[in-house]
Amino acid sequence: MKTFPKNWLILIGLLIVAFLSGCSGVFKTNSGINQPDFRTGTQGIEISLLENSLPATMYENTPLTLAFELWNKGSYDFLNGVYSVSYDPSYMTLDRSAGELPELYGKSVENPTGEKRIVALLGTTKSLPSQLERITLPLVITACYEYSTIASPAVCIDTDILKQIPSNKKSCAVKSLSFSGQGAPIAVTSIVPRMYAGAGETARPEFTITIRNSGRGFVIASDRIYDACASDAVVAEEFNVADLKVTLSDSQLRCRPDSLKFVGGQATVVCSLEEGIDKIFGAYSAPLIIEMSYGYSTSLSKSFELKRII
């Protein structure tokens, strides 16, 4: 039986992808119905206090309810994480100060705004020392969770390195791309493609990818989310790091560095297909899949005044 070389199999796959692709900003289901692309924005899990929970002014020796909402405003399902509440135990108590986060599914056709859950904690304020009439107290709710980002733009691959073919004869042009978010706090913001001569009759595509922490929280190693929320020792090397995988038409690219390290909220990697692509393919569009997995920590701070009962 005659076998096809790997590059021909890639081309056949590209033709199938191009045929099945819908319009920009929509997905096409198996039934042929166009549906919106929910991978937009730069939010993940957001925390908010429920109305009338933890009033601005409270009195000593009084029961309290701390109720807060966890809302997955991103585009990825969340299944693993914890929360913690930091407060001064000299002036109040809670029935628990930490726990597992409830499962929260991201935006979808069935729930285009994402899933919400409420956590309610019961507690009591304590007596003020005799020398105090009132005091302002801080309280911080922190959520630490695993999350993902997937960017899947179509990029132009042009194996005509010497530009022997007129540009108006090509199906696409190699150009830089910019983005505003993929439905997660870690976002691909730009891709700069370049084409180099490879070994033999091949061209080697290379992509400079810029990624930002566009959310309001901190990036942490995904296996240290429990420690981060428990205020255990997390070394500096475990902050601002994320795992990365980049593929071009099902071929994994070699990235330098091979994982993400954020400096000033931004990380840059250079990824290339070392084996190159046969020049016979000319210019065509191909899917570049950028997958990132990481831990993320976000917090809500609240202050309230505790007063003596006169």
Q: List the pLDDT tens digit at each of the 310 positions of the chain.
A: 333 344 544 444 444 444 333 333 444 444 445 557 788 999 999 999 998 899 999 999 999 999 999 999 999 998 789 999 999 999 999 999 999 999 999 998 888 999 999 999 999 999 999 899 999 999 999 999 999 999 999 999 999 998 888 888 899 999 999 999 999 999 999 999 999 998 889 999 999 999 999 999 999 999 989 888 886 667 788 899 999 999 999 899 999 999 999 999 999 999 999 999 999 999 999 999 999 999 999 999 999 999 998 7
Distance of CA 19 to the CA centre of its chain: 29
How far is it, in rounded angstroms, from Cα 44 to Cα 25? 20
The DSSP secondary-structure symbol of 5 reads: -
Can you give the pLDDT at residue 5?
Answer: 45
Token output for 142? 């922190």
Question: Is 144 in contact with 82 (CB distance < 8 Å)?
Answer: yes
How far is it, in rounded angstroms, from Cα 292 to Cα 222? 11
Can you give the pLDDT at residue 34?
Answer: 57
Q: CA nearest 229: which of 301, 145, 146? A: 145
Q: What angle do CA 170, 173, 174 make, to 5 degrees?
A: 140
How far is it, in rounded angstroms, from Cα 78 to Cα 130? 47
Bridge-based pairing of strands 92-94 and 116-125 is antiparallel
Can you give the pLDDT at residue 200?
Answer: 87
Can you give the pLDDT at residue 162?
Answer: 86
Q: Which amino acid is at 257?
A: P
pLDDT digits (tens, 9 = 90+) for 197-211: 988 899 999 999 999
Token output for 122? 């019961």
Give the contacts of 151 (CB within 8 A, at least 6 positions apart).
39, 179, 182, 187, 188, 288, 289, 290
pLDDT digits (tens, 9 = 90+) for 216-264: 999 999 998 988 888 666 778 889 999 999 999 989 999 999 999 999 9
